[in-house]
Amino acid sequence: MCGIVGYVGQKQSLPIALDALRRMEYRGYDSAGIAVAGSNGIVSAKRAGKLANLEDKIAEIGADTLGGTTGIGHTRWATHGRPTDENAHPHLSYDGKVAIVHNGIIENFAPLRDELVSAGIELASETDSEVAAHLVARAYNEGETAGDFRASALGVLRRLEGAFTLLFIHADHPDQIIAARRSTPLMIGVGEGEMFLGSDVAAFIEHTKQAIELGQDSVVIITKDDYEILNFDGTASEGTPFTIDWDLEAAEKGGFDSFMMKEIYEQPAAVRDTLVGHFSAGRVTLDENNLGEAELAAFDQVFVIACGSAYHSGLAAKYAIEHWVRIPVQIEVASEFRYRDPVLDERTLVLAISQSGETADTLEAVRHAKGQGAKVLAVCNTNGSQIPRESDAVLYTHAGPEIGVASTKAFLAQVAANYIVGLALAQAKGTLSPAEVAEIWAELEAVPEKISETLGTRDQLKQISETLGAVTTMLFLGRGVGYPIALEGALKLKELAYIHAEGFPAGELKHGPIALIEDDLPVVVVVPSPRGLSQLHSKIVSNIQEIRARGAKTLVIAEEGDTAVEPFANWLVRIPATRPLMQPLLATVPLQFLSADIARQCGNDDIDKPRNLAKSVTVE
């Protein structure tokens, strides 16, 4: 979950690395640091906290001290060791000649650290990462690989266990960076007279659109004019070149005061782009996908695995797939999945949903599912990331880069993609007729326009959040497919405003949670369409009355034309009418605004980077 950059070229590496870290700060922001290989050997600067702290430090010591055309940088989300200056990367070797940055976990760091300590080397940090710097320095200073940077690095890499992206620079070889990846991401950016390394393409899109994706267990050596890809055993290997189609503009705020707000407004496009190309000649197609119709038809159960918002998108999919395909859909938080022995076989389709494609819990669940013989279809927003690479098939969402840590557009795109999978299954199994599939598709295609209309609730939500007063807790209720919306609304409020919030199925309230209701407690109620299962609508209207009778203030999200809810709403937010199952694609939007507004009122202005969170969670 850390962000890593490397540069070898003709320009000063410091400003290039700092810019890259700024664009990758969403990957982690507990600390940041830079090391440069120049005429003064290795010079580094690092600081706990956001990048601004590192910039202050550099201003203090003078940018000139970090002169050099080869540099590495790191923005950290702490795993081993607290977010302190000492634990920030880069880490230097005992002789000051090797600097490393690391993303991931070195699982066997304890015996390696003991080995170093017995050799009299003092460790300066509490991290697992630091051992890599000392080990390479030792291998370079003594023994068989003495004087050979490449052989020293390769030898150390072969000893490491776990998941890691590592970049090494050496004072005696200031013209190169040696890097490696195992289970965590690393891309090469190919420029003219300059080469880049990055955890993702945001590290270098400003400078080049030509990139190379690296396979598992790859080592890469870059100089300003060339790159060489090796396996861990030193034999030659190759990467996959591609042209980046995200421009820099797409990764910046575009006039909004936060990435998250920009991304909320990108939701119509995110859903539209996700749907594009998946319906032709009257049929839903999974063209990026290698599961054929016959394979789809043979599945007799679906398992959904995901975390957080992605999990909520999967919960919405459960309602849709069971309704359309008439096969059981089980859903599991990915971190629990493999620890409870789920019953899977080759007739099980596992839907692994992940924006980043790097979430360790989901990745491990994918590996477990594959080990049990199930077929895994990834729904993912990030090309070339680990989860799609390890899955049997992939359906990409096309939400573009999501920088705000709290998921918005990726969530809506996931719901849309999950529905594509549901329709493809129904089509293959014949549980929906072609006319029914076409009708549902037409409604899906109408959704982006309706999301645009829903964006019109912006000012109303601002006013509502202002009149709510000081909120210390908030409940979210839904029924049917409104339940995942309630969970997502509560998660957004927790993440952004640090306020206690819980989502419940409205019918469950009377089984306990109703005891929480007291005077003036704000309760959000997502009302199902009156055109859906009729008893569901009337039941939630009763639920609203029950909580109002106990003093709660209700913020009701209901579709246009639903007059039955009017007498029971302290605040009523209207969303366009749609098929009941499409409701998550609309009703979530006002809840995103609500959380952002309440967050600001609570003094959390930096809604893009809520405390304690990271965008990609690559540890279990």
Choice between 185 and 532, CB closer to ligand F6R: 185
Q: Name the residues annotated as catalytic.
A: 2, 615
Measured from the CB of residue 544, what is the shortest distance to ligand F6R in angstroms? 27
Residue 359 touching ligand F6R (CB under 6 A): yes
Measured from the CB of residue 304, what is the shortest distance to ligand F6R in angstroms? 13
Measured from the CB of residue 175, what is the shortest distance to ligand F6R in angstroms? 36
Give the amino acid at 337: F
Residue 289 touching ligand F6R (CB under 6 A): no
Identify the residue whose tokens are 């203090």: 60
> Of 247, 239, 251, 252, whose CA–CA distance to 185 is shortest?
239
Measured from the CB of residue 597, what is the shortest distance to ligand F6R in angstroms? 16
- Cα angle 315, 318, 321 (rounded to 5 degrees) comes to 150
The CA distance from 29 to 393, in Å, is 33
Here the tokens at position 108 are: 């066997």
DSSP 121: P
* Preceding amide of 90 cis, omega within 30: yes
Choice between 362 and 604, CB closer to ligand F6R: 362
Measured from the CB of residue 557, what is the shortest distance to ligand F6R in angstroms? 19
Here the tokens at position 319 are: 């309602």
Choice between 75 and 313, CB closer to ligand F6R: 313
Choice between 588 and 616, CB closer to ligand F6R: 616
Residue 302, strand partner residues:
329, 349
Q: Which range binds ligand F6R by CB under 6 A, 263-271, 349-357, 503-511, 589-597?
A: 349-357
> Of 376, 374, 392, 396, whose CA–CA distance to 384 is shortest?
396
Residue 356 touching ligand F6R (CB under 6 A): yes
Choice between 168 and 265, CB closer to ligand F6R: 265
Binding mask 480-509 for ligand F6R (x = CB under 6 A): -----------x---x--------------
Residue 355 touching ligand F6R (CB under 6 A): yes
Residue 12 touching ligand F6R (CB under 6 A): no
Residue 153 touching ligand F6R (CB under 6 A): no
Residue 596 touching ligand F6R (CB under 6 A): no
> Of 441, 459, 501, whose CA–CA distance to 477 is shortest?
501
Residue 406 touching ligand F6R (CB under 6 A): yes
Residue 376 in contact with residue 334, Cβ under 8 Å? no
> Of 64, 53, 51, whose CA–CA distance to 17 is shortest?
51
Q: In what order do the strands lie in the sheet with 393-396?
A: 329-333, 301-306, 348-354, 375-380, 393-396
Total binding residues toward ligand F6R, as defined by CB under 6 A: 15
Q: Which residue is nearest to ligand F6R (CB)?
A: 308
Expressed in percent and rounded to 5, the helix, strand and coil fractions of the chain are: 40, 25, 35
In angstroms, what is the C-alpha Rg of the chain? 26
Binding mask 297-336 for ligand F6R (x = CB under 6 A): ----------xxxx--------------------------
Measured from the CB of residue 356, what is the shortest distance to ligand F6R in angstroms? 3
Residue 471 touching ligand F6R (CB under 6 A): no
> Of 271, 318, 337, whose CA–CA distance to 484 is shortest?
318
The dihedrals phi and psi of 504, each to the nearest 5 degrees, come to: -135, 155
Give the amino acid at 420: I
The CA distance from 231 to 245, in Å, is 28
Measured from the CB of residue 253, what is the shortest distance to ligand F6R in angstroms? 18
Instruction: By CB under 6 A, name the one of 407, 543, 583, 588 that touches ligand F6R.
Output: 407
Instruction: By CB under 6 A, name the one of 12, 125, 348, 354 that touches ligand F6R.
Output: 354
Task: Point out which residues bind ligand F6R (CB under 6 A).
Answer: 307-310, 354-356, 359, 362, 406-407, 491, 495, 616-617
